[in-house]
Amino acid sequence: MQTRVNPNRMELLRLRARLSTAERGHKLLKDKHDELMQRFLELVWESRDLREKVEAQLESVSTSMVLATATASPAVIESALLFPKQRLDVQVRHDSIVGVPIVRFDHSWESVGGEADHYPYGPAHTPADLDAAIKTLSEALSDLVRLAELEKAAELLAVELERTRRRVNALEYVLIPQLQESIRYITMKLDEAERSNIVRLMKVKQMNEQA
């Protein structure tokens, strides 16, 4: 970069101003990167724990359904599940984390036909394992919505983290060193010119004294 700059004081002032701006930008981006990383890790840890919980819930649902079908015919199971009394309503709203746009999934259970429970049947003639499966599945569905929100947010933060990291590195390892090198080059040239000018003035003075 030093070969493409004019070694004069105006250029030196301009480059020093650019360097100051670049250093401030680097600090701001580094702070943003650190905060993004902290929030990203929080999302990863929370989603990891929630995923383990959901997987355990779904495994429990599967086990309960197997036991239910062992004590009741498929026709009984199918007719019991035919008309759900609850539905999961999901509303999407927009939010942000460290300036990164994300989506939130607000969810709630709504009754169908005025029924307030999750069981789409009367419990008198159905196996208890089916009740357990339905209850656990309703809990798992709520957790799945939250898990989708967490994992999508983590994905978006990961993209922004990589983008911010590239910008930090470009400033830290490319632009700032180039500006510093150019400033050193111009400073050196100006110092050389000043020394040459002093030598010239001394020679002129010496010649005048000898005349």
Which band of pLDDT confidence, cut at 50, 70 and 90, is reported for residue 1? very low
The closest of 87, 84, 73, 100 to 158, measured between CA atoms, is: 100
Residue scoring higher pLDDT (163 or 64) = 163
Reading phi first (left if > 0) and then psi (alpha if -120 to 50, else beta), residue 99 is in left
Q: What's the rounded mean pLDDT across residues 7-21?
A: 95
CA distances from 59 to 63, 70, 95, 162 (A): 6, 17, 33, 36
Answer for the pair 76, 63: CB distance below 8 angstroms, yes or no: no
Q: Which amino acid appears at position 147 of this protein?
A: L
Which band of pLDDT confidence, cut at 50, 70 and 90, is reported for residue 140? very high
Annotated domain spans of the chain = 2-204
Which band of pLDDT confidence, cut at 50, 70 and 90, is reported for residue 143? very high
Architecture (CATH level 2) of domain 2-204? Orthogonal Bundle (1.10)
